[in-house]
Amino acid sequence: MTAILTPLNPADVQARLKSGRARLVDIREPDEFAREHIPGVAHAPLSAFEDAHLSIKAGQDVIFMCRSGMRTQTNCGRLAARVDGEAFVLDGGLQGWKDAGLPTSVDKKAPLELMRQVQIIAGSLVVVGALLAWLVHPAWIALSAFVGAGLFLAGATGVCGMARMLMLAPWNRTRAA
């Protein structure tokens, strides 16, 4: 068992996948995976990783990936613990794969990733609160402060109330990854 993941560039990963020598495992969450992923990749979201079936054949290299590679490197010990022998990471993640001009499967009908939805709404509310405080009444700055406090609590506790509410929105409930 290793404590690090060896980086592989996208072209090397593609060659290993084509030859059948490797299994690529995407650790992004279901909402991210549904929107875009590499065809043929195994999906094992980090939130349920220990329970995931990785479908690794004997002698296959295991290559982990996320959006940019950062989440994979942050969790390298946890990921490598599931692999006998050396484990690898797709350098640059999905973004590196796309930057190399390699194909992805995109579903534009799938909702935006939940955290992007939170960022859009929170950012909009902060701007609206600031504009209303400037144009209407200074008390509107409380809207921006409320959103900022919510983001602070989400970061401190790992629980985002806005994300939980957005999960209940009809556009986020219609499709399973």
Please check whether residue 37 is in contact with residue 43, taking contact to mean a CB–CB distance below 8 angstroms: yes
The token duo for 158 is 């790992």
Show Cβ contacts of residue 103 under 8 Å, excluding neighbours closer than 6 positions: 38, 39
Catalytic residue among 25, 34, 66, 118: 66
66 is catalytic: yes
CB atoms within 10 A of CB 4: 12
What number of helices (H) and strands (E) belong to the chain? 9, 7
Give the max Cα distance, the chain.
67
Residue 100 CA to residue 96 CA, distance in Å, equals 6
Residue 17 CA to residue 157 CA, distance in Å, equals 39
What is the residue whose two structure tokens read 């613990």? 81
Catalytic residues: 66
